[in-house]
Amino acid sequence: MCADLVSRKFPSDCGLYVLLDYALLSGRILEVAEQVLQGGADIIQFRAKSPSKRQYYEETLLLLDLARRYHAPFVVNDHLDIALAISADGIHLGQNDLPCRAARLLVPNHTFLGISTHSVEQAVKAAEEGADYIAIGPVFPTSTKENPDPVVGTRGVSEVRKRIGSLPLIAIGGINSGNVAEVIRAGADGVAVASAVALADHPESATRALTEEITRARHLSA
């Protein structure tokens, strides 16, 4: 779990960021959320494109309460209004959402703001506009999105790392326990996963395996 939630700024020591995707989990959201938190997930994010805004809001309240019980930050994807309404720990926006600079004007200082990027240029721009952390990807081919952006590879992770300095960097896309070590070695502070745990027979065990690999990779890279 993350060490400090007092400031609610993005905890740079967190290695595993789990995306709870409505399309993958549907009615199992809360069940899987608790399992990944028990397995050691540092941060959970709720991502849903299909439910109504009212349903999304109600789901976020339940997930926020669960995250609080495990002392883990809870992030809302895309819906800035809902993130503000429930006082989420963080908000995550994509390239087609409200621009980072504009969102920064609305997001309270105690709420962290993350931006999805798919190139070095996008990552640098997000950093310059005030993002608290950068997500870069897809690192590897992924089936989670219908029309994924081009793969950036571990080389892309390394390039972004060089350009954004010490700003927290989360790699995403096709990451699992078999390739997470090379992603950490490339310069990512942590990784975000969805299907690697959501589609696992035992999400808690899959989460624990990933956290152990991240810890091992960090130790070897130190």
Give catalytic residues, as residue numbers: 47, 116, 145
Number of Cβ within 10 Å of residue 215's Cβ equals 14
Token code pair at residue 214: 């991240």
Helix (H) / strand (E) element for 16: namely: strand 16-21
Q: What is the rounded distance in angstroms from the CA atom of residue 116 to the CA atom of residue 205?
A: 27
Please give the Cα distance from 136 to 49 (Å, whole number).
20
C-alpha separations of 172 from 19, 128, 141, 149, 151 in Å: 10, 21, 10, 12, 10
Residue 198 · residue 143 · CB < 8 Å: no
Q: Binding site membership for Mg(2+): which residues?
A: 78, 97
From CA 210, how far away is CA 179, in angstroms rounded?
A: 10
